[in-house]
Structure 1
Amino acid sequence: MKSKAAFEHLLSHYRAQKVGLPLKVESGDSIKVAMSLGALDCLYWQALGNGLTNLAKGIGRTIIHSYKYHQIRLPGHPQQGYQVNGYPKMDLKMLLGGAA
């Protein structure tokens, strides 16, 4: 059930969270980072529920990319061991040293 209104609504919230997350990470406030991650996770599931798979994938990539900059993880997300683009599972500590 894709609709332009749902897409635009979720996209605007996603953009706001994506812009705000680095500021919260820089502030060092773990609660604010966790709240932002929770909001992104909620948007991810809403996008999937509305059939907006590509938007959900983008939100998911943003969440995983943010793990390079803080130690907070969503429930069910391992500290290490993501499989990225078919490559073997990669340690997040290794990712910290290289470019995304």
Structure 2
Amino acid sequence: MTAEDTAPEAGPPPRAPRGPDEERIAGIWSAFLRTPDPPANISFFTMGGYSLGLMRLGLRLQQEFGIVIPVPDLFEHTTIEAQAVLVRKLLSRTPGT
């Protein structure tokens, strides 16, 4: 067995939020997780979040964007970039936006 065999899987390099939606969501994550500049492509759970926390974060996102986010969607979209895509999709379905 080599050191490579026991090394953790390397994920993508962290990237900063891009665009207004990702930046708004990153601000919410930052306040919630008490961490500055959360990467847009790293999972909420990897950043120290937990299941109930994700649901609470979802409520905050709903308030910020004026949409309803189904709980199962939160668990399928656990990065800032994925949540931004989800928010845009939900906003496009909302009448009057």
When normalised by structure 2's length, the TM-score is: 0.32
Return the structure number with greater relative CO, CA threshold 8 A, min gap 6. 2
When normalised by structure 1's length, the TM-score is: 0.31
